[in-house]
Amino acid sequence: MPLTPEQEAEISALRTTSQPTLRAVSEGMEAHLYKAHQVLDHGFVRVIDYMGDDAAICQAARVSYGKGTKSVQNDEGLIRYLMRHWHSTPFEMCEVKLHVKLPVFVARQWIRHRTANVNEYSARYSILDREFYIPQADALAAQSVVNNQGRGEVLQGEEAARVLRYLRDDAMTAYDHYEAMISQDGQQGLARELARMNLPANIYTQWYWKVDLHNLLHFLRLRADAHAQYEIRVYADAICAIVADWVPFAYKAFEDYRLGGAVLSATALEAVRRMLKGEEVTQENSGMSKGEWREFMAALK
């Protein structure tokens, strides 16, 4: 299960205890504090702490904070200007600390984003739980013949059942051996830091991940994209929903200019100009490679 009874009791206690504060508060984010949002079969994302809101972004951009000289429309317009022109430092004034439970192979993708502070559950000191990510049948797909990093057709029938059986059986066998190696029943038992190397990449780990909004949005732009691996994309989607409540103006601008927008090369932009003039532009006369043309057409559609 995503949360133990002890964790649920701790969260319940934290959510019923409030402290007066003079700092800026985002009402949307307050609703998410400590609450666990389930992801995959045993994973979750929950907000531990945060700093700043939409106003903090504007405050940093203006340097001096003249509250009487601004309006909601001005704030939203300023944030859209900052996003549109790739100004990053005002967004760095907001930070969030997340508690994430995720499969190890997802964590190894996630940690490639090296612009955060991370503290992970240590299998050197503690014993990992018998919890593994086992995909739903519709998430089992063959290797893509077009994209070496992607998936193709969904596996069907006996082939899908065979793969699921392998995943479950191998995970359980590996954990049985892990438990046997660290057991001290009548013997010393293997050190935990060595026994953990036998565990599969679909076992769950946990970490605290603290990041500023600028780098978080960069993470979401890549990982909430339709081409991202499903298992990390669902975490990004859950975080997107949290960010939308935390900094609604910033998130709307992010949706428009990053998630829903496209960056065109000079060659691609010239192709658009030629199309607008009524010219027939093809991959052969566009000056783009087959891959560039495919991505260009996908952006236009």
- Which residues are the active-site residues? 223
Amino acid type, 222? L
Q: Nearest CA to 58 among 249, 241, 242, 246?
A: 249
Q: Is the separation of the CB atoms in 1 and 214 below 8 Å? A: no
Q: Which two tokens stand for residue 77?
A: 């317009």
Q: Which amino acid is at 181?
A: M
C-alpha distance from residue 212 to each of 67, 83, 91, 209, 258 (Å): 24, 15, 7, 10, 17
Q: Which residues contact 124 (CB under 8 A, 6 or more apart)?
A: 192, 193, 196
C-alpha distances out from residue 214 to 4, 24, 258, Å: 33, 19, 12
